[in-house]
Amino acid sequence: MAVFRQKKISRGQTLADKLNKARLESGLSLEELSQSTKIQPKYLETLERGDYNNLPGDIYAKAWIKIYAQSLGLNSKELLADYKIEKTIGEKLYKVAAPKSSSKNFPVFDILAPKNLKRAGITLIVLALLSYLGWELNNIIAPPKVIIFEPENNFKTTASSLEIKGSTKPEVQLTINNELVLLNEDGSFNQTINLAIGLNNLQISAKKKHSKVNNIELIILRENLNN
């Protein structure tokens, strides 16, 4: 039976997740943080929900995120970069979901009128945006790719232990027989396992935060030297 050691790995988080987690780990309530930062509790709560549309404005949001980071010992540049990305995606999704005016029929000779060309341009942009969002969504939910360098499947050995070497994305949660594996910064990994005599079925699973699971099975045969 294989023996493993449990290891921790980090997962991707949204800006709201990072702020909320940092505050809870510091043991501060929203009211206590409000007193030290001079930011109203309702706006602190709005930041921790990621509800940026309900903030007074972009300038206020950036300033508060910076103050928030300084108060809890976080990296303000990283948080501001997260804010910019998430706000941009949110605005694009809002535009796509916004109700559109009812279509009208135009005479053939009026098709090339500037207002109709403008509508056509907007339609193309929306379609392109929808295609992009669909591509992004597929990247989010698609099972992460895992490459096993060694050993190959159905590998035979007389050794009592074996190293599994491979690579995936750094943000992936990887397990071997339900035991977490620590990934390097580039996503590579090297895990040593003990082998029982006979067939060893190794179940390798990889998953990102919102993705499907990629399951890989390796069968390793440890032969008895006495045979």
- Catalogue all structural domains in the chain, each as residue range(s) with its CATH number: 15-141 (1.10.260.40), 147-222 (2.60.40.10)
Q: What pLDDT, on a 0 to 100 scale, did the predictor assign at position 108? A: 47
Write the pLDDT tens digit of every residue in 11-34.
457 888 888 888 898 898 889 888
| Tokens of residue 181, six digits | 């594996």
Phi-psi region of 213 (alpha: psi -120 to 50; beta: other; left: phi over 0): beta
Q: Say which residue, 174 or 134, is predicted with more confidence.
A: 174
In order of 15, 16, 56, 57, 63, the CA distances from 51 in angstroms are: 11, 9, 11, 12, 16
What is the rounded average pLDDT of the residues 141-157? Answer: 89
